[in-house]
Amino acid sequence: MKDNEREEFWRTLCSLPGTDPQAESEKLRQTIKYPRFLYRYRSVSSKSLEALRTNKLYFSTANYYDDPFDTFLHIDIDEIRSAFSNVFQTPERMSAVVDAFKLLFDGIFTEEQKNQITVENVTKALSQGFLDSFLNFALALRNDVKKDIWSVCFSENGFNEVLWLKYADQYKGFIQIYDLDNDENFLCGKQEKCSACGIRQYGTPLYPIYYSNTPYDATNYAKYVMLHKMEEQAKTPLPPQLYEMLGPGFWERERIALIKMECHHYDEEWRMILPCRMEAPVMMEWIPSGIILGLRMDPEAENRVISMAHEAGIKGIYKSFIDSSNQLNAIPFERIMTFLQQ
């Protein structure tokens, strides 16, 4: 996609209110210009070879990505403090908060201690700065938000010299090619073992990355993360009033996952996002239509990768080279072998 097309996609994504996900998904899809092929740059390792052999793509959380500004977001801590303070402004809201605290500390406090969690006592604690202490961990929310985003990364450019250097071990690795027009190679949801998988139920939406020097304001989503952490601690749902104050948050995950700093626009990146919560390790199965061997791969590494590709049922084996126009290119591997044997 061109830069202006990615910008149109991003503007549309940010405009979606989250009240009619099905209709909004279709509206967003109309702005996406899908390429025919996507490419995944890989180094040669036991892990990458096993994934190649088994046609598996593993989802990773954004906090593991090499770029600390991946998922380029801003979290307004003062806004979070203000929003949670507003919860306590009426007796009804304060009562809901008291119930939430009792749930939060259930199993931790004794019944006598929980009986001390009253509207009066909570109000007193807030006046003494308890809220600021409770929100201190908000400074770590950036990482917590990124832990909540699972994705698989691709590029629409299989001859990106920077990506070959960065993600394919300086041309000593390889590329996996995925054909978006070949539905037969997409194995997810088509096997008996897929019956209880969240990916089968919700799909694997694929989106382009938008590049900008302005971060996305993820403050509202950070509030959801805070409440979810409270629920995990309490091991029971919190009062709905605490979520209602945040409004619909259906597209927040996508907005956070699909923005990177402008300096990375050369990646021409696409991401497949996990649309539901699943237990790690999270993976999908998709047979590549081919692989491209790196320009500087040694013969042993080539043989290992080719062997795994054949076992996986991958049909296209290509070797990269510098063509007569001084551009990175690729030709079928058997043509090179034929030439060398002459």
Mean pLDDT by 10 residues, the chain (342 residues): 95 94 94 97 97 94 67 67 60 67 59 72 56 51 68 95 95 98 88 76 88 86 72 65 68 89 92 80 92 96 97 95 94 70 48
Instruction: Tell me the C-alpha distance between 94 and 122, whole Å.
Output: 8
Asked whether the whole model's pTM tops 0.85, one would answer no
State residue 196's pLDDT score. Answer: 75
> What whole-number distance in Å separates Cα of residue 37 and Cα of residue 44?
22
Dig out the tokens for 116 from the structure: 């001390």
Q: In total, how many domains does the chain have?
A: 1
Q: Are 102 and 117 in contact (CB under 8 A)?
A: yes
Q: Which residues contact 295 (CB under 8 A, 6 or more apart)?
A: 164, 171, 320, 321, 322, 328
What are the backbone angles phi and psi of residue 187, rounded to the nearest 5°?
Answer: -95, -15
- Domain interval for residue 307: 36-63+152-213+266-341
**Could you tell me the two tokens for 329?**
């290119």
Length of the chain: 342
* 288 within domain boundaries: yes
Q: Is residue 10 part of a domain?
A: no
Q: Look at residue 20 and tell me if it is in a domain.
A: no
301 located within any domain: yes
- Give the per-residue pLDDT at 253: 84
Tell me whether residue 110 is in a domain: no
Distance CA 273, CA 259 (A): 13
The whole-number pLDDT of residue 130 equals 45
Q: pLDDT value at position 297? A: 96
CA distances from 151 to 39, 147, 260, 317, 319 (A): 15, 11, 14, 26, 28
pLDDT (0 to 100) of residue 133: 47
How many Cα atoms sit within 13 Å of 274 on the Cβ side? Answer: 24
Could you give the C-alpha distances from 284 to 39, 59, 200, 243, 341, in angstroms and in order? 16, 8, 10, 32, 39
Residues contacting 301, CB < 8 A, separation 6+: 44, 172
* Residue 163 falls inside a structural domain: yes
